[in-house]
């Protein structure tokens, strides 16, 4: 039980291999320009001693951390009703792992936490940041720019901070919404309603815009604001049925909203899809496959979004690292403003 109270250092490995610390360092970091024989010897010493580099010491000199912060700034609700973030995290995690980078998770609980996050990012603990779920009035983008950390956003940011270009990955929310509504139209529906998401998020706004693209002259009473939650979906659906009992189609801003709507429709005796066709957005499997009837929806590849965000960030970091080492204005000439991922229609029974 006399556990390795002191972990082996470069020094120890060097001694054992009969070389200098510099050589061990070279081998540990790829081993270029070291004679094959020595590489062997060092590798063996590393194994025998169970040497693992001390990341703190390394960071101190390289100023790299091999760590990326993931900031999820969701005041409350959505995160936990929806496997959304779990999926993104999984995608991100896979990509970071493949790149030997660590994932530092920063969950914020409200405005107060933003300052803490800003401080952390400014503190130079991580090489970059992946930031989610900004709301239009969010202070975070400003803090983040101020922190000067390379950042990729999940979802198009709300630009509350001016016109600065930001790197982001988003789904084709507007195009997907158009597909959804056109599908309802193709089904012969004419009184098509839309339950929006939380309109302080660009995804909700974009989906609404997509709806309007197709239903340019829609009865305004057919649009009701929701908030991406099941309860919001229920409330909105009731309101819609009261206002427009003749509606025959509903495009809900996401699947859990649609699930809420379905319950109200059943409760009110409307058959789906016979009386009212319903379509969601996300294709969140545990939701969409479990509703009654199963939900027709617009699929977006959440995990891939996460992956791509990570990939984009890591590429920037690598480039920056290869370049003039900070001589440049950060990311000057970076023209990758946003990447938009396609969406597809998934037909099930509800529309």
Binding site for its own copies (CB under 8 A): 1, 3-5, 7, 50, 52-57, 59-60, 65, 67, 70, 79-83, 85-87, 89-90, 93-94, 97, 102-107, 109, 113, 116, 119-120, 122-125, 148, 230, 256, 259-260, 263, 266, 285-286, 289-290, 292, 326, 329-330
Q: At what angle do helices 255-267 and 230-243 cross, to 10 degrees?
A: 50
Identify which of residues 19 and 302 has a Cβ nearer to DNA in the complex.
19
Identify which of residues 19 and 252 has a Cβ nearer to DNA in the complex.
19
Q: Which does 87 bind (CB under 5 to 8 A by kind): its own copies, DNA, none?
A: its own copies
Identify which of residues 123 and 286 has a Cβ nearer to DNA in the complex.
123
Identify which of residues 33 and 110 has a Cβ nearer to DNA in the complex.
33
Report in angstroms how near the CB of residue 317 gets to its own copies at its nearest.
16
Identify which of residues 102 and 160 has a Cβ nearer to its own copies in the complex.
102
Report in angstroms how near the CB of residue 254 gets to DNA at its nearest.
45
Chain residues binding DNA by CB under 7 A are 6-7, 9-11, 18-23, 25-26, 28-29, 33-35, 37-38, 51, 53-54, 57-58, 60-62
Q: Which does 292 bind (CB under 5 to 8 A by kind): its own copies, DNA, none?
A: its own copies
Q: Which does 322 bind (CB under 5 to 8 A by kind): DNA, its own copies, none?
A: none
Rg (CA), the chain: 26
Task: Count Cα atoms within 13 angstroms, Cβ side, for 347.
Answer: 6
Nearest to 350 by CA among 187, 179, 175, 174: 187
**Pairwise CA distance, residues 274 & 15, whole Å:** 79
φ/ψ of 217, rounded to 5, equals -110, 40
Bin 110: left if φ > 0, else alpha if -120 < ψ < 50, else beta: left
Q: Which does 336 bind (CB under 5 to 8 A by kind): its own copies, DNA, none?
A: none
Report in angstroms how near the CB of residue 83 gets to its own copies at its nearest.
4
Q: Which does 330 bind (CB under 5 to 8 A by kind): DNA, its own copies, none?
A: its own copies
* Helix (H) or strand (E) segment spanning residue 344: strand 344-346
Report in angstroms how near the CB of residue 120 gets to its own copies at its nearest.
8
Give the dihedral sign, CA 312/317/320/326: positive
Report in angstroms how near the CB of residue 290 gets to its own copies at its nearest.
6
Report in angstroms how near the CB of residue 175 gets to its own copies at its nearest.
25
Q: Write out the E strands in 63-172.
A: 67-72, 102-107, 128-132, 151-154, 168-171
Report in angstroms how near the CB of residue 56 gets to its own copies at its nearest.
4
Residue with tokens 């969406």: 343
Nearest to 74 by CA among 209, 198, 257: 198
Bin 281: left if φ > 0, else alpha if -120 < ψ < 50, else beta: beta
The answer to whether 94 touches 131, Cβ cutoff 8 Å, is: no
């Amino acid at each position: 039980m006399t556990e390795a109270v002191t972990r082996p250092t470069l020094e120890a490995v060097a001694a054992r291999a009969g070389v200098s610390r510099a050589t061990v360092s070279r081998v540990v970091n790829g081993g270029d320009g070291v004679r094959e024989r020595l590489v062997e010897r060092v590798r063996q010493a590393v194994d025998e001693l169970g040497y693992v580099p001390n990341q703190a010491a390394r960071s101190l000199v390289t100023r790299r951390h091999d760590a990326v912060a993931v900031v999820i700034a969701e005041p409350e609700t959505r995160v936990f009703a929806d496997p959304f973030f779990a999926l993104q995290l999984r995608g991100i995690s896979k990509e970071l792992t493949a790149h030997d980078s660590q994932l530092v998770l920063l969950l914020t609980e409200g405005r107060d936490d933003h300052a803490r996050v800003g401080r952390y990012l400014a503190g130079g603990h991580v090489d970059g940041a992946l930031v989610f779920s900004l709301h239009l009035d969010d202070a975070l983008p400003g803090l983040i720019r101020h922190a000067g950390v390379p950042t990729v956003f999940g979802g198009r940011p709300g630009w509350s901070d001016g016109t600065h270009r930001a790197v982001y990955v988003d789904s084709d929310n507007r195009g997907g919404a158009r597909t959804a509504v056109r599908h309802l139209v193709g089904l012969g529906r004419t009184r098509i309603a839309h339950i929006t998401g939380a309109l302080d998020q660009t995804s909700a706004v974009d989906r609404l815009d997509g709806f309007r693209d197709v239903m340019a002259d829609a009865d305004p009473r057919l649009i009701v604001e929701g908030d991406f939650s099941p309860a919001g979906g229920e409330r909105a659906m009731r309101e819609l049925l009261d206002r427009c009992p003749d509606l025959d189609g509903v495009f809900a801003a996401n699947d859990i909203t649609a699930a809420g709507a379905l319950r109200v429709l059943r409760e009110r005796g409307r058959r789906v899809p016979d009386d009212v066709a319903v379509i969601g957005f996300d294709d969140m499997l545990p939701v969409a496959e479990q509703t009654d009837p199963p939900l027709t929806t617009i699929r977006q590849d959440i995990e891939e979004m996460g992956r791509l965000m990570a990939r984009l960030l890591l590429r920037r970091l690598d480039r920056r690292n290869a370049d003039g080492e900070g001589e440049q204005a950060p990311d000057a000439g970076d023209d990758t403003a946003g990447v938009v991922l396609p969406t597809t229609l998934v037909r099930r029974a509800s529309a």
